[in-house]
Structures are given as C-alpha cells and as structure tokens.
Amino acid sequence: MQKLIFFGFFTGLLSLLAACGNKEPLVTPPPPPPIDTQANFKVLWQTPLQSDTGQYTAWGQVVTDGGNIIYSINWTSPLPTVGMRNGETGALIWEQQFPSRGFLNDNFYNINNKIVISDWSETQVWDVASGSVDWAYKVPESGYGMVTCNVINDQIYKVVAPGGPPYNPSSTLLRTHYQSNQWDTVLTLNYENDGFFINMYPPVLWINPQGDSILVFQEGGLRESGGFNGGKNRASVYAYNLRSRQLEWVRKNIDPAGGITTAKPLVDGDRLYINGVRTLHCFDLNTGNTIWQKEFPEAIMDGNITVYKNTLMVPSTQIGMWGVDKQTGSILWYNKDVDGNVLLVVQFDGIVYCTSTGYARLYAVNAETGATIWKENSPNRNSRHPNASFAFAGIAIDTVNRKLYTADKYYLMCIALPEK
C-alpha cells in the first residue's frame, strides 16, 4: 500500500532571526553551484482533465495501490470533481462529484482502499476501486466543520463549531472509525468568558513514554469584536491523553504576535514544532515547556513545516525558504528562489517539493544544502494557455517508481523525480 499525499498549497519564504529572544545576524549561505534544471526536469506524460482543456485548478491528493492517482478539481461548476487515473498513462478510471461547500484542499486520506474526503461541512468515505460512496456525515445546520479534518491510524477526526457571528462559544472534536458513521465526542472546549471565542483545529498524534496516545492540537481564539482580522487573536496548544481522557498540558497565548495559526503541528520524537505568525516554536511534548523559539522578521506562511534529518524546512509569506536546525533553531541555509505563498511542502528522499502562487512555479530544493534543483514554469504556458501555471496545484509522490504528479490548471502531468 502506498500512501502518497497530494497537497494543495501556497507559500514563499523570508528571513529568520532570533532564538529565545536573542537576535541573530542574518545568515546567508554561499550560493549553490549552478544546476541544469532542464536536465533534471522531465515530463513523462500529461493529459487534459477536461475534454475542452478549459481552465481549472487540480489539487492532487492520494496515490493508491498500483500507482493510481486520486485528485480533485476545484473551481468548476456546479461541484468539485474527484477522480482516479492510471499513474502510468493518465487514463481515466472513474470520476464523481463531491457536494462541497468549500475547497477540498488537503482533506484527502487513503485508508485500506478507502478514501476519506472532507470539506467545511461534510465528510465522506469512498471506495477506491469504484469511487462509490460508502457513507457520508453532514454537520447539522446548527454548526459547521472546520476547514480541515485529520486521519490518525484508522480514526477520522473532525472539529465542529457553531457558526458566527456571534463567534464560536465552543468547539467539539469528534472521531469515528473509517468503516463507521458513528461519531464519538472526544472533548469540547467552551468559551471561558475571557473575551476569546473558540476555534479548535484537528489533532496530530504523539505516543508518550508510558505508551499512551496523546492528541496534540491548536486552538486559535479570536475576539468577536475583531474577527479574524481584528488583530486581537491568540494561538494556544493542547495535549490530550486518550487513555485518561484528561488534558496533559495547555499552553495559552504562545505566539507574541497573537495571531491564529491553522497549520498542523509537527511531531518529531518527543518534540513539537509549531509555526506562529512570526515565530517558530519548539516544545517538549512531555511537559509542554518551550525548548526554543525563533523569531522571523516577517510573517511565516500559515502552512506546514517539514523535517529531514536535522533540518526543518520553513516557508514564509514573502520570498524564500529557510533550513533551520531542529535542535537549536539556528539557521542552516536560506533559499531565495522559492516564491511567495507556499502553503504546503512535501519532502521525499532529502528533496523538498512545493508550488507557489507567487510566480506559480514548481520547486525542488535540496533539504540538506538548500540548493535549487527545479524552479520550473508549466511547459504548457503559451498563447493557447497563457494562464497555465502550478499555482494552487497539489503534489503527489510515487516513492516506489520515483514519480511526481501535479497539474497546471489545464493538464495533469507525471514528472520523473531527480536522484538526490
């Protein structure tokens, strides 16, 4: 079974500065040796996802057994389309529509030949072979699901909160087995009369030294009077023990800028890494204590960070990508080629892949050195398709056959992965 995740995403990067309050001078590594990107960038095949090749945006999501690709097409009418194609040829296997209220984004998961798909209000489980719906759960009209759900092992987690304004007085974390539509309440966070309303985000998993399953999640409180853009928000982190049904620890107001961050935390050993508005945080998962924090001069993109060996890859809202020492928070390298608005980065075999809405290119960056391997525009950008670009496109990686799948608003394509 291959689980190969396609993610929709947007970012670029900035400049990192200080750990634990001590400002550091900007570190600029020597430029990497020139690389012949054309020699490394090889399109094996491409196929239109609409017969008239009209413009669309494809978010790739899951590669299943046998190398087949499951993808979603957003910004089409009347509903987003989910389909599966042959990974060797691009031939269509099936396509179905999903009754979405919002973008499907990265809310695709593959569990034992079942696809979990979720949007703002509805979660469905589909059969991989046929695309048929096994079951569907729709949030009651009194509430809405948060933008993302998460799948941990064989459990689906989803957050439900009442709509607003007035904003959320509570948020509830639900879960169910992927084969069932019987949802259980894990916990509920209630309004604490402190001026902040509740916005919980789906969890990630850590197993503590005693063997207990600990759910770690963020809660981004906001003030009703200010809303998301009112500048009076907060970001907090919770660790919840599934065995004891108790909170292990809580860290309130972790980010100095006081903003809401929706990125999933990164668990690496017994450390937790979370990006705030301008600060990257490292916590001890046993205690919730801060190990280090690194302040950036501008906002970090509200997307994921990823790790390879000792290096964290951190994107920004502006230009560039940083490599950060995961032990100390010090800067190891800076790549200024990566453009702005990269929401998600995917790491495989020591190479980081991403797209951006800046120059809408596809990037491959060496995780150890920061050297650029690709920064490619769509090969289809021409007079017929002037808008062809990798902006908002997802990425799926076939780790066995070393292939990358993505789309350029018109064509789904398969690209040979470079050797490390």
Position 386 pLDDT exceeds 90: no
- More confident call, 401 vs 155: 155
pLDDT at 257: 66
pLDDT at 10: 26
- Phi, psi at 273, each rounded to 5°: -115, 130
Position 292 pLDDT exceeds 70: yes
Position 77 pLDDT exceeds 90: no
Residues of the chain by 3-state class (helix, strand, coil), percent to 5: 0, 45, 55
pTM for this prediction: 0.84
Confidence of residue 5 (pLDDT cuts 50, 70, 90): very low
Q: Give Cα 32 to chain centroid, integer Å.
A: 28
**Average of pLDDT values for 14-40?**
43
pLDDT at 242: 97
pLDDT at 308: 96
Written as six digits, the tokens of 217 are 């999640």
pLDDT at 40: 76
> Which CATH superfamily, name and number, covers 4-416?
YVTN repeat-like/Quinoprotein amine dehydrogenase (2.130.10.10)
pLDDT at 34: 45
**Average of pLDDT values for 285-300?**
87
pLDDT at 385: 81
- Number of Cα atoms under 13 Å in the Cβ half of residue 411: 19
Choose from 40-54, 115-129, 173-187 the range with maximum mean pLDDT.
173-187
176, 177, 60: which is closest to 112 by C-alpha? 177
